Amino acid sequence: MPNLPELTSNFTDEDKGALIKKEIMRLTKLYKTLAKDRLSAMQSLIEEAAFMRITLLDLKTTINREGCVSTYQNGENQWGTKKSPEIEIYNAMIKNHAAIIKQLQDMLPKSDIAENDGFGAFVNGRDN
């Protein structure tokens, strides 16, 4: 197994846990008007979204401090640069976070205004 650079956190475990809990409460509050069974079904997505958001903030701090490029040594005299491991993790996680947020949004009931605003008919080339 190759030696991987150690990724260090900008948050203590206690701080990270508290920030994730706070984000879970913030997201849950956004969906508080939903029926309890629906909110219960969304809870694991909310928890994952909260974890990812705090982790992304942590990674962003590291990227801002250390940059997007890291150096490596491949052999005795061969050096180079590559995309930092934090950038690779950040890029993958931001896509997953966006997908979870979209899933959460899709679980919300559609408002009457959004459904009947004529946009769908416009896109499909039909008149109301």
Task: Decide if pLDDT at 53 tops 90.
Answer: yes
In a domain, 45, yes or no: yes
In a domain, 66, yes or no: yes
In a domain, 86, yes or no: yes
In a domain, 8, yes or no: no
pTM assigned to the model? 0.73
Q: Which domain holds residue 92?
A: 13-108
pLDDT-derived band of residue 31, with 50, 70 and 90 as boundaries? confident
In a domain, 7, yes or no: no
Confidence (pLDDT) at 9: 73
Amino acid at residue number 76: E
Number of domains in the chain: 1
Mean pLDDT, residues 8-30 taken together = 89
In a domain, 97, yes or no: yes
In a domain, 92, yes or no: yes
**Residues linked to residue 79 through DSSP beta bridges, in sequence order:** 73
Task: Decide if pLDDT at 3 tops 50.
Answer: no
In a domain, 127, yes or no: no
